[in-house]
Protein backbone atom coordinates (compact mmCIF):
# COMPACT_ATOMS: atom_id res chain seq x y z
CA UNK A 1 0.00 0.00 0.00
CA UNK A 2 1.29 3.44 -0.93
CA UNK A 3 1.94 5.61 2.08
CA UNK A 4 -0.39 8.54 2.70
CA UNK A 5 0.50 11.75 0.85
CA UNK A 6 1.88 14.58 2.98
CA UNK A 7 0.39 17.89 1.85
CA UNK A 8 1.84 21.24 2.95
CA UNK A 9 -0.73 24.05 2.81
CA UNK A 10 0.27 27.70 2.93
CA UNK A 11 -0.90 31.09 1.64
CA UNK A 12 -0.14 34.81 1.71
CA UNK A 13 -3.42 36.22 3.02
CA UNK A 14 -2.68 34.81 6.47
CA UNK A 15 -3.94 31.81 8.40
CA UNK A 16 -7.37 33.31 9.16
CA UNK A 17 -8.27 34.04 5.52
CA UNK A 18 -11.29 32.14 4.14
CA UNK A 19 -9.20 31.08 1.13
CA UNK A 20 -6.87 28.82 3.12
CA UNK A 21 -9.78 27.23 4.98
CA UNK A 22 -11.35 26.39 1.64
CA UNK A 23 -8.05 25.01 0.33
CA UNK A 24 -7.68 22.74 3.37
CA UNK A 25 -11.22 21.47 2.81
CA UNK A 26 -10.40 20.85 -0.85
CA UNK A 27 -7.25 18.79 -0.28
CA UNK A 28 -7.87 17.00 3.02
CA UNK A 29 -9.39 13.92 1.34
CA UNK A 30 -6.13 13.52 -0.61
CA UNK A 31 -3.68 12.95 2.27
CA UNK A 32 -2.31 14.16 5.60
CA UNK A 33 -2.46 17.97 5.69
CA UNK A 34 -0.07 20.24 7.61
CA UNK A 35 -0.68 23.99 7.50
CA UNK A 36 2.07 26.60 7.95
CA UNK A 37 0.85 30.08 7.09
CA UNK A 38 1.70 33.69 7.91
CA UNK A 39 0.21 35.11 11.10
CA UNK A 40 -0.72 38.31 9.22
CA UNK A 41 -1.61 39.30 5.66
CA UNK A 42 1.43 39.14 3.36
CA UNK A 43 -0.03 40.09 -0.01
CA UNK A 44 2.44 41.53 -2.50
CA UNK A 45 5.44 40.23 -0.58
CA UNK A 46 6.86 38.51 -3.68
CA UNK A 47 9.79 36.26 -2.91
CA UNK A 48 10.82 38.23 0.19
CA UNK A 49 12.63 36.40 2.99
CA UNK A 50 13.33 37.63 6.50
CA UNK A 51 17.03 38.30 7.02
CA UNK A 52 17.30 41.04 9.62
CA UNK A 53 15.09 39.60 12.36
CA UNK A 54 14.31 36.19 13.81
CA UNK A 55 11.15 34.21 13.12
CA UNK A 56 8.49 32.69 15.35
CA UNK A 57 6.32 29.62 14.91
CA UNK A 58 3.14 29.04 16.93
CA UNK A 59 0.93 25.98 16.79
CA UNK A 60 -2.79 26.75 16.48
CA UNK A 61 -5.93 24.63 16.59
CA UNK A 62 -8.43 26.26 14.27
CA UNK A 63 -8.89 23.67 11.50
CA UNK A 64 -10.74 20.80 13.17
CA UNK A 65 -7.98 18.30 13.89
CA UNK A 66 -5.49 19.51 11.26
CA UNK A 67 -1.94 20.30 12.42
CA UNK A 68 -1.48 24.03 11.84
CA UNK A 69 1.20 26.62 12.59
CA UNK A 70 1.47 30.36 12.19
CA UNK A 71 4.76 31.91 11.16
CA UNK A 72 5.75 35.52 11.82
CA UNK A 73 7.52 35.84 8.46
CA UNK A 74 6.73 35.94 4.77
CA UNK A 75 5.10 33.16 2.72
CA UNK A 76 8.57 32.02 1.59
CA UNK A 77 9.74 31.90 5.22
CA UNK A 78 6.72 29.69 6.00
CA UNK A 79 7.80 27.11 3.43
CA UNK A 80 11.44 27.16 4.54
CA UNK A 81 10.51 26.78 8.22
CA UNK A 82 7.89 24.12 7.47
CA UNK A 83 10.47 21.97 5.75
CA UNK A 84 13.30 22.42 8.23
CA UNK A 85 11.50 22.65 11.58
CA UNK A 86 8.01 21.16 11.23
CA UNK A 87 8.04 18.45 8.58
CA UNK A 88 11.75 17.65 8.86
CA UNK A 89 11.87 17.00 5.13
CA UNK A 90 9.94 17.34 1.91
CA UNK A 91 6.17 16.93 1.74
CA UNK A 92 4.75 15.17 -1.34
CA UNK A 93 3.16 18.40 -2.54
CA UNK A 94 2.82 22.05 -1.54
CA UNK A 95 -0.44 23.89 -2.22
CA UNK A 96 -0.71 27.64 -1.69
CA UNK A 97 -3.80 29.85 -1.51
CA UNK A 98 -6.59 30.05 -2.28
CA UNK A 99 -5.58 33.65 -2.85
CA UNK A 100 -8.22 36.36 -2.62
CA UNK A 101 -7.58 38.07 -5.97
CA UNK A 102 -5.85 37.33 -9.27
CA UNK A 103 -2.24 36.24 -9.74
CA UNK A 104 -2.24 35.77 -13.50
CA UNK A 105 0.29 37.21 -15.99
CA UNK A 106 2.96 39.49 -14.48
CA UNK A 107 1.22 39.37 -11.08
CA UNK A 108 3.03 36.11 -10.38
CA UNK A 109 6.15 38.16 -9.68
CA UNK A 110 4.56 40.21 -6.91
CA UNK A 111 2.53 37.36 -5.46
CA UNK A 112 3.30 35.89 -2.05
CA UNK A 113 0.98 32.98 -2.88
CA UNK A 114 3.03 32.02 -5.93
CA UNK A 115 6.38 32.78 -4.26
CA UNK A 116 5.57 30.31 -1.47
CA UNK A 117 4.76 27.66 -4.09
CA UNK A 118 7.89 28.57 -6.04
CA UNK A 119 10.06 28.23 -2.94
CA UNK A 120 8.74 24.69 -2.48
CA UNK A 121 9.34 23.94 -6.17
CA UNK A 122 12.95 25.15 -5.89
CA UNK A 123 13.27 22.57 -3.10
CA UNK A 124 12.04 19.87 -5.48
CA UNK A 125 8.50 19.69 -4.09
CA UNK A 126 5.76 19.67 -6.77
CA UNK A 127 3.82 22.82 -6.03
CA UNK A 128 0.83 24.86 -7.05
CA UNK A 129 -0.68 28.23 -6.20
CA UNK A 130 -4.42 28.86 -6.49
CA UNK A 131 -5.96 32.31 -6.87
CA UNK A 132 -9.62 33.28 -7.13
CA UNK A 133 -10.68 36.42 -8.95
CA UNK A 134 -12.86 37.61 -6.09
CA UNK A 135 -11.69 39.76 -3.18
CA UNK A 136 -14.83 39.44 -1.01
CA UNK A 137 -14.51 37.96 2.43
CA UNK A 138 -17.70 35.97 1.89
CA UNK A 139 -17.02 34.92 -1.71
CA UNK A 140 -18.44 31.59 -2.89
CA UNK A 141 -15.47 29.22 -3.08
CA UNK A 142 -17.38 26.22 -4.56
CA UNK A 143 -15.66 26.31 -7.95
CA UNK A 144 -12.19 27.19 -6.55
CA UNK A 145 -12.45 24.27 -4.08
CA UNK A 146 -13.37 21.90 -6.88
CA UNK A 147 -10.48 23.16 -9.04
CA UNK A 148 -8.00 22.91 -6.16
CA UNK A 149 -9.00 19.31 -5.49
CA UNK A 150 -8.91 18.28 -9.14
CA UNK A 151 -5.51 19.88 -9.88
CA UNK A 152 -3.91 18.64 -6.65
CA UNK A 153 -5.16 15.11 -7.31
CA UNK A 154 -3.88 15.22 -10.89
CA UNK A 155 -0.47 16.36 -9.65
CA UNK A 156 -0.30 13.58 -7.07
CA UNK A 157 -1.24 10.98 -9.70
CA UNK A 158 1.26 12.19 -12.32
CA UNK A 159 5.01 11.60 -12.40
CA UNK A 160 6.02 15.22 -12.88
CA UNK A 161 9.51 16.56 -13.68
CA UNK A 162 11.39 17.76 -10.59
CA UNK A 163 10.62 21.38 -9.63
CA UNK A 164 7.17 21.30 -11.30
CA UNK A 165 5.13 24.35 -10.41
CA UNK A 166 1.72 25.62 -11.51
CA UNK A 167 -0.03 28.97 -11.34
CA UNK A 168 -3.80 28.40 -11.26
CA UNK A 169 -6.28 31.30 -11.50
CA UNK A 170 -10.01 30.72 -11.18
CA UNK A 171 -12.56 33.12 -12.66
CA UNK A 172 -15.43 34.48 -10.60
CA UNK A 173 -18.38 33.04 -12.50
CA UNK A 174 -21.69 31.32 -11.82
CA UNK A 175 -21.42 27.53 -12.34
CA UNK A 176 -23.53 27.72 -15.52
CA UNK A 177 -21.01 30.04 -17.20
CA UNK A 178 -17.86 28.30 -16.00
CA UNK A 179 -16.11 26.25 -18.69
CA UNK A 180 -13.32 24.29 -16.95
CA UNK A 181 -9.51 24.30 -16.80
CA UNK A 182 -7.24 25.39 -19.65
CA UNK A 183 -3.44 25.11 -19.94
CA UNK A 184 -2.03 28.54 -20.71
CA UNK A 185 1.09 30.66 -20.84
CA UNK A 186 1.80 33.82 -18.83
CA UNK A 187 0.29 36.82 -20.64
CA UNK A 188 2.54 39.77 -21.40
CA UNK A 189 0.81 42.34 -19.23
CA UNK A 190 1.74 44.93 -16.66
CA UNK A 191 0.39 47.48 -14.24
CA UNK A 192 0.08 51.13 -15.10
CA UNK A 193 0.94 52.56 -11.74
CA UNK A 194 -0.32 55.74 -10.31
CA UNK A 195 0.25 56.84 -6.78
CA UNK A 196 -2.53 58.52 -4.89
CA UNK A 197 -0.85 61.56 -3.31
CA UNK A 198 -2.23 62.78 0.03
CA UNK A 199 -1.11 65.03 2.86
CA UNK A 200 -0.83 64.04 6.51
CA UNK A 201 -2.06 66.32 9.35
CA UNK A 202 1.38 68.01 9.29
CA UNK A 203 1.05 68.87 5.62
CA UNK A 204 3.64 66.33 4.49
CA UNK A 205 3.00 64.23 1.40
CA UNK A 206 2.48 60.48 1.41
CA UNK A 207 1.57 58.04 -1.35
CA UNK A 208 -0.74 55.05 -1.79
CA UNK A 209 0.06 52.63 -4.57
CA UNK A 210 -2.82 52.25 -6.99
CA UNK A 211 -2.80 51.10 -10.57
CA UNK A 212 -4.61 49.84 -13.60
CA UNK A 213 -3.97 46.46 -15.16
CA UNK A 214 -2.94 46.59 -18.77
CA UNK A 215 -2.83 43.49 -20.97
CA UNK A 216 -0.72 43.94 -24.08
CA UNK A 217 -0.91 40.33 -25.22
CA UNK A 218 -3.76 39.30 -27.47
CA UNK A 219 -2.90 35.61 -27.91
CA UNK A 220 -5.66 33.09 -27.18
CA UNK A 221 -3.19 30.84 -25.34
CA UNK A 222 -2.62 33.19 -22.38
CA UNK A 223 -3.89 32.99 -18.82
CA UNK A 224 -5.66 36.34 -19.24
CA UNK A 225 -7.50 35.07 -22.33
CA UNK A 226 -8.57 31.89 -20.52
CA UNK A 227 -9.95 33.87 -17.58
CA UNK A 228 -11.78 36.34 -19.83
CA UNK A 229 -13.35 33.44 -21.67
CA UNK A 230 -14.77 31.50 -18.76
CA UNK A 231 -11.86 29.18 -18.00
CA UNK A 232 -9.55 28.53 -15.08
CA UNK A 233 -5.99 29.17 -16.30
CA UNK A 234 -3.26 26.67 -15.43
CA UNK A 235 0.25 27.92 -16.25
CA UNK A 236 3.29 25.65 -15.76
CA UNK A 237 6.00 27.83 -14.19
CA UNK A 238 9.81 27.68 -14.05
CA UNK A 239 12.45 29.84 -12.42
CA UNK A 240 15.41 29.92 -14.79
CA UNK A 241 15.16 33.62 -15.65
CA UNK A 242 17.94 33.55 -18.26
CA UNK A 243 16.95 35.30 -21.48
CA UNK A 244 18.60 32.79 -23.83
CA UNK A 245 17.59 34.68 -26.96
CA UNK A 246 19.26 37.90 -25.82
CA UNK A 247 22.27 35.91 -24.60
CA UNK A 248 22.66 34.41 -28.08
CA UNK A 249 22.31 37.78 -29.77
CA UNK A 250 24.85 39.52 -27.53
CA UNK A 251 27.34 36.66 -27.73
CA UNK A 252 28.27 37.97 -31.16
CA UNK A 253 27.59 41.69 -30.66
CA UNK A 254 29.22 42.48 -27.33
CA UNK A 255 32.93 42.02 -26.94
CA UNK A 256 34.47 42.62 -23.54
CA UNK A 257 38.18 42.68 -22.79
Q: Contact at 8 Å (CB) between 99 and 9?
A: no
99 is in an annotated binding site: yes
* Residue 175 is a binding residue for its own copies (CB under 8 A): no
* Residue 4 is a binding residue for its own copies (CB under 8 A): no
Cα 84 from chain centre = 21
* Residue 57 is a binding residue for its own copies (CB under 8 A): yes
* Residue 183 is a binding residue for its own copies (CB under 8 A): yes
Each residue 81-120 as x (binds its own copies by CB under 8 A) or -, in order, gives x-xxx--------------------x-xxx----x--x--
Reduce the DSSP state of residue 189 to 3 states and report it.
Answer: strand
* Residue 219 is a binding residue for its own copies (CB under 8 A): no
Q: Contact at 8 Å (CB) between 19 and 132?
A: yes
CB of 67 to its own copies, least distance (A): 17
Among 209, 219, 229, 230, binds its own copies (CB under 8 A): 209
Which residue from 30, 145, 166 is spatially nearest to 8, judged by alpha carbons? 30
* Residue 238 is a binding residue for its own copies (CB under 8 A): yes
Give 40's contacts (C-beta < 8 A, 6+ positions apart). 14
Alpha-carbon torsion angle 142, 146, 151, 154, nearest 10: 170
Residues 143-162 that bind its own copies (CB under 8 A): 150, 154, 158, 160-161
Residue numbering of the annotated binding site for a divalent metal cation: 12-13, 43, 99
Residue numbering of the annotated binding site: 12-13, 43, 99
Amino acid sequence: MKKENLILVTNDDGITAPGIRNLIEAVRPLGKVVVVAPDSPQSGKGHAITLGSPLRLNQVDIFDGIEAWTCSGTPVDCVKLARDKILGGRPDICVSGINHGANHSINIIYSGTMSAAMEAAIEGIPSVGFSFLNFDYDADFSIPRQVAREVTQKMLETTLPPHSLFNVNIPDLPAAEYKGIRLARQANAKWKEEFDERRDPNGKKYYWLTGEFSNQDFGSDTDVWALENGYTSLVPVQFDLTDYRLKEKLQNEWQFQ
